[in-house]
Amino acid sequence: MVVLSQHVALDNHLSVIPTYKPVLVPVVDLTDPEAKTLIVKACEEFGFFKVVNHGVRPDLMTRLEQEAVGFFALPQSLKNQAGPPEPYGYGSKRIGPNGDVGWIEYILLNANPQLTSPKTSAIFRQTPQIFREAVEEYMKEVKEVTCKVLEMVAEGLGIETRDTLSKMVRDEKSDSCLRMNHYPTAEEEAEKMVKVGFGEHTDPQIISVLRSNNTAGLQICMKDGSWVAVPPDQSSFFINVGDALQVMTNGRFKSVKHRVLADTRRSRVSMIYFGGPPLSQKIAPLPCLVPKQEDWLYKEFTWSQYKSSAYKSKLGDYRLGLFEKQPLLTHRSNV
């Protein structure tokens, strides 16, 4: 059970959202010679796809999930010692600082081993050494998947320098992070209501790499505004295009809006690696894709600026709106 030390109103995390049919998610085999082409197509059409033959060991994914479950099973008083998140650490029900809530508890960890915080240190104090080792090993392997996908994106887009995107994640100052979410089973009295575990949103980073257990709940928003359920697959990764990549492709790729609904029978555990650039990295349409600045749909900004802006927004806000270029108005003179 998720418990808060302070009261939080949760009326807005109960909903009568109907159930949707599963969508045929694009599947990309990373060993396929055509993978780069398939990835670009999926990013253009869905902003979302599943990867198989990714190279991450199944036992590592299972071990980290088990260790995360162990942490979330700790007494609430011990978990609270690692929270509230600032932004790293343990959080329960509150999602960000702006009033968003969900049927969720989570851990957010910085992927840069050089950066630590008291809250993340508190998480590791409450868990066996194997948990820290599993986290570090998992992030190392998933980072490689992230970079491999980004390099395939570059190749598929015809970008000459293969590491144009991946070098931002490989940078020693990369602002990447790992989030582990736990969506408990719904309370009996609320089983007839749909519980929103994590409300609709887009991910601000370059791409997100998601792995979950075999519990359903993830949904993505299609171009027509309809929501579709994504069948779970604990052996694969699901890739989301993030806001930063939408900007760098000048809108050719779309940052997909998604959400998670809690299951009334089984808890859901997900682990998401967010591939982010260094804080000082400038984000703008790539000149190799959009040579003329007058064709840019977005203003240039640093990742630090965008991250700060996103942190101040509500979960479902369209964050990129503040960074879109306004069309120039032309006026005719009456002669």
268 catalytic per annotation: yes
Q: What is the 3-state secondary structure (H, E, C) of 189-202?
A: HHCCCEEEEEEEEC
Report the SS3 class of residue 299: coil
- Specify whether the CB–CB gap between 74 and 66 falls below 8 A: no
Residue found under tokens 């959202």: 17
Residue of 193, 196, 60 lying closest to 130 (CA atoms): 60
Catalytic residue among 266, 268, 319, 332: 268
Q: Count Cβ atoms within 10 A of the Cβ of residue 124 and give its class: 0-12 exposed, 13-18 middle, 19 or more buried.
A: middle
State how far the Cα of 136 lies from the Cα of 147, in Å rounded to an integer: 17
Give CA–CA dist 223/271, Å, rounded: 26
Burial of 24 (0-12, 13-18, 19+ CB in 10 A): exposed
Amino acid identity of residue 214, one-letter, is N
Strands (E), the chain: 14-15, 27-29, 48-52, 89-94, 101-110, 177-183, 194-201, 207-212, 218-221, 227-229, 237-241, 258-262, 268-275, 282-283, 301-302
Which tokens belong to 55?
Answer: 């190279």
Parallel, antiparallel, or unpaired for β 227-229 and 101-110?
Answer: unpaired
Catalytic machinery residues: 268
